[in-house]
Amino acid sequence: ATRTETQAATAKVQKQGEELVQELSKATEEVRTLRETNSIKERTLSLLDTPLAELEQAIANEERKLAQLQSEWGEHRAPLAAEIDEHEATMQERRERAAAKLAQVRALRAEVKALGAEAAERDETMARLQSEIKQMPKSAPRAMYTRRILDIVKNVRKQKAEIGKILADIREVQKGINTSTDTLQRSFATTDELIFRDAVKDAASKKCYKALAAMHEAFGQLVEKSTQMGTVSNATRDLQGQVDELAARQVGGAIERISADIQELREANAALEAQRGASR
């Protein structure tokens, strides 16, 4: 019984010890919290002891610093923003000119195609007139032969002159497109180099460089248009070869037909002279 009582007393003492440890830990935490609160209160009281004039002066100083920083940022930003606006306006103008030239090339290409169709139609007309001439009686007036032949020659020459003018316009437009594309690439390379140097160490220049990169991506479409124009130029050169061949064939055929008609006229005149001599 004594041993049991001793164990019970020991357990009770241990329990009380644990409770005391817990209470001590809790008290320690409360002391730490009170110290922190006291420290905050002391700092607050210290601020309250500071004269109001000093606080107002400190606020005014910070406001002046902020205004100075804003002024410096404005001075730094203004020329960069103006430069970007200028480049944007220039690139927009070049993009519009390139689009207009592309439309002009397409219009000229359509006109060349239409002239090719017209040339084929004139070939048919020439063949029909030649057939009519052959079917006409030999006694037909010489003026009719001459007028028809001269009309054919006039139409062929007029068509050749029109085709030559269109091809010259196409070459001039393509030359302008190539010049605009080269200028665009040089301008971007120069601007990229100038802004990139500052963008490494300046936040404002970084924003400008990002804007320039966005502009370059947009202007990539312009370069693509220029590439398409090069394709149009190749097609135009092919059309030029076809037109030259067509013009040569038309002129050659016209000369052959005219020569044949002149020979027929000579023979008809000779026959008329022979008849006139016999009647005398």
Top-ranked range on mean pLDDT: pick from 77-91, 186-200, 209-223, 225-239: 77-91
Mean residue pLDDT of the chain comes to: 70
- Report if residue 81 sits inside a domain: no
- Report if residue 72 sits inside a domain: no
- Report if residue 230 sits inside a domain: yes
- Report if residue 192 sits inside a domain: yes
- Report if residue 139 sits inside a domain: yes
Number of domains in the chain: 1
User: 85: which residues sit within 8 A by CB, 6+ positions away?
Assistant: none
- Report if residue 248 sits inside a domain: yes
What's the confidence (pLDDT) of residue 209?
66
- Report if residue 148 sits inside a domain: yes
Report residue 121's pLDDT band, with 50, 70 and 90 as the boundaries: confident
- Report if residue 48 sits inside a domain: no
User: Which structural domain range is residue 233 located in?
Assistant: 86-279
Alpha carbon dihedral 195, 199, 205, 206, in 10-degree steps, equals 120
**How far is Cα of residue 155 from the mean position of the Cα atoms in its chain?**
42
Tens-place pLDDT, residues 204-261: 666 666 776 776 676 666 656 655 655 555 555 555 555 555 555 554 555 566 556 6
